[in-house]
Structure 1
Amino acid sequence: MKHLYALLLTLFVYPHTGRAQFLDSLGIEEDEKPFELSGGVDVYYAYDFSEPIGQERLFTTQAFRHNGFNLNWGFLQATYATDKVRATFALQTGTYVQANYAAEPNELTRLIGQANAGVRLAEGVWLDMGILPSHIGYENTFSLNNEIYTRALMAENSPYYETGAQLTAELSDVVTVQFLVLNGWQIIQETNEAKSLGFGISYTPTEALTLSYNNYYGNEAPEGTEAKRRFFHDFYASYAASERFNLAGSVDYGRQELWDSEEQGTWYAAMLLARYRLSERFALAGRVEHYNDEDQLIVSTGTALGFQTSSASLNLDYIPAPNFLWRMEARGYDAQDRVFTGEEGRDDKNLLLVTSFALKF
């Protein structure tokens, strides 16, 4: 950490002419560049045809607000990495943060996207601790890293972030495993005395193919109430058929005691997507999915059939630069119950139109 503070002073306080001498005094070669500053901005306009009350869209954290220009996610991230230690600290804001971190009791904590430090225990073995990106799922937080602007329902209803300790081991050039001890299911501040466990294994036999299995086990009941144990499985595969065309598919399955009884309930989800780069500047992507939570363990609707919803998306990208995407997406929903509530009442179908600019630097 001494080096991290010193490097921050070098970047923002010391004049450029003294940079090399200052780094040399710390025993750091300038070309090692252990410290990096990066960030991203994702702004959007979304129109939800259910016209949600209060403009806040249901069952999502991405493109959270209807009929307005908004910042979905903005982040500024500092990373420090050598061959022995590493650390990441990121600040964030936007409607994604407003939606996804609403349950965090500390408002300042919600502004932290990542805060973790790690040490190398052996060749290819790292132990990291703090606020970490989730080990679960194919799609992740930042739009530019995904094929389609909005996230699948399975991504929106599984963790984007986790807090705890993570042991990562590269067993070979093609196999990596992770073991985690966590505060819980997408929380920063602990809500009970129990700790949760996670495991992941990734197999990459070629540069084109990745297979990954991840799981989670923990008690999700608040302190002082009867334990509700959750056991969740996630599997995904991605395949780059060519430089222009890639495919991905994912399946989730979870079990937990029902919130109002000791009986076991389940939920499951499946997703398939494809992206084709039409030219250097244009790409087309599509996704179909189904999410089934009849027992309302993850998504509460207050309806008889719970959240049993299918969705299909079509996404067009304009790529003026490698780190910039102008995205346009149309997404339709079809549910078993009338779960989409808006100014005109309740409906079992919905349509979303959204466009966004996303840039990473």
Structure 2
Amino acid sequence: MKKITLLFSLFLSIYVSYSQESVGGIEISGSADAYWKYDFANGENIQTYFANDHNSISLGMLNLAIKKSTGKASFVGEVSFGPRGQYLTIPNGDGTDDNSFHIQNLYVDYAFSDKFSMTAGYMGTFIGLEVISPASNFHYSTSYLFGAGPFQNAGIKGTYAFSDKVSLMAGLFNDWNTYKDLNGVSHFGAQLNLAPIEGLSIYANFLTGTSAGGKDEYSSGTIYDLVASYEVSEKFSVGLNAADYTFKSEGGFQGVALYPKYNITDYAQIGARGEFYKTKDVGSDEGEEITSFTLTGKLSHGGLSFIPEVRFDSNDSMPFLKSDFTTSTKSASQFSLAVVYAF
């Protein structure tokens, strides 16, 4: 714990002493968040990542990142503290260790030219639209696609920009969400980035490999993932995330989520997330089909955001509970208020 305290004190002292974004060429950024959620069944019911506690003013996490560039080389280090950083982001997900922090990113990058660069280390995943940091998501609660993972990928990758409209990334990675791979470098991944017209971005992602333990114990898994965003106008934009994951011994999942958003003013936004998520059949066991609708508002001033949100989930397998918490039901709903400060 002394090492953790010293690390936290170092970050804090740097920021408090200088109170600016760059210190000697070191860029400092981060966020902090807290929330209150009320589930209308009067208990913890919707079990997606984050905003789990019922009728409690609860902490999210303190996220701190540093970046340093020297010539063509750069370094990024990012750690998080608190419940969201310790218990709800793998590999500290079991809560049985003594760590009070989680490494989100720890990697180096070298730009060989304006077109080609390579990155090595532990990185936030390139799969999916939503991320761990609440400051980078519009909605505070997360999608089922996000919860299915991956969260991070350790490995080495190269990115080549053919033009300002087309780039390709390819790399070798460990198993999902691990600092080290017990069966060797086991995954291959790639991302094709297209920007065919102004305001439109498309990311076609692919990741395949053998899970920790080796191919004799687990079969390979492959995920195809599509992320797209389009700014229809200055006021209105829409995002899309679709994925298909196959893991032979455990089925996998399919899902699609749509994210329309409208800017009412420079300081007020409203957006929705509609999601369909299905776990695949495993033998004679049928998978679950889940639909979810989330309506979110965001009021911002400077680095501070206030986020009210209402969410409705439905699952024909009836995994939710009514207010007596003994009767199963196929639907659940909740309301939350979150505050996020980013610097």
Same fold, TM-score > 0.5, yes or no: yes
Q: Secondary structure of the equivalent of 1:154?
A: helix
* Counterpart-to-counterpart distance in 2, 1:149 and 1:95: 15
Q: Does 1:113 align with 2:104?
A: yes
Q: Does 1:44 align with 2:35?
A: yes
Q: Does 1:313 align with 2:304?
A: no
* Aligned partner of 1:325 among 300, 305, 311: 305
Check conservation: 2:166, 2:194, Cα contact below 8 A: yes
Match of 2:336 in 1: 354
Check conservation: 1:221, 1:228, Cα contact below 8 A: no
Check conservation: 2:299, 2:305, Cα contact below 8 A: yes
How far the C-alpha of 1:140 sits from its partner, in A, is 1.9
Match of 1:79 in 2: 67
* Counterpart-to-counterpart distance in 1, 2:230 and 2:215: 46
CA offsets 1:145-164 (integer angstroms, 9 cap, x no match)? 22322222112212222111
**Which range moves more in the overlay, 283-292 or 67-76?**
67-76
How far the C-alpha of 1:105 sits from its partner, in A, is 8.1
How far the C-alpha of 1:59 sits from its partner, in A, is 3.6
Match of 2:278 in 1: 292
* Counterpart-to-counterpart distance in 2, 1:295 and 1:191: 28
Q: Secondary structure of the equivalent of 1:319?
A: strand
Q: Does 1:138 align with 2:133?
A: no
Q: Give the partner amino acid of 1:282.
A: A
Residue ranges of structure 2 left out of the alignment (5+ in a row) = 1-9
* Counterpart-to-counterpart distance in 1, 2:333 and 2:204: 32
Match of 1:99 in 2: 88
* Compared CA separation, residues 221 and 112, structure 1 to 2 (3 A): closer
Match of 1:64 in 2: 52
Q: Which structure would you say has the larger Rg?
A: 1
* Compared CA separation, residues 110 and 233, structure 1 to 2 (3 A): farther
* Counterpart-to-counterpart distance in 1, 2:285 and 2:38: 28
**Which range moves more in the overlay, 73-82 or 217-226?**
217-226
Q: Superposed, which structure 2 residues align to 1:207-286 within 5 Å?
A: 207-223=198-214, 225-259=216-250, 265-286=251-272
How far the C-alpha of 1:123 sits from its partner, in A, is 2.6
Ranges of 4+ aligned residues in structure 1 off by more than 4 Å: 103-107
* Counterpart-to-counterpart distance in 1, 2:248 and 2:47: 22
**Which range moves more in the overlay, 58-67 or 227-236?**
58-67
Match of 2:318 in 1: 338
Q: Secondary structure of the equivalent of 2:227?
A: strand
* Compared CA separation, residues 347 and 119, structure 1 to 2 (3 A): same
TM-score (norm 1): 0.81
How far the C-alpha of 1:230 sits from its partner, in A, is 0.5
Match of 1:200 in 2: 191
* Aligned partner of 2:77 among 86, 89, 96: 89
Q: What percentage of aligned pairs have identical amino acids?
A: 20
TM-score (norm 2): 0.85
* Residue correspondences, number: 323
**Which range moves more in the overlay, 86-95 or 180-189?**
180-189
Give the alignment's Cα RMSD to 1 decimal: 2.8
Q: Does 1:188 align with 2:179?
A: yes
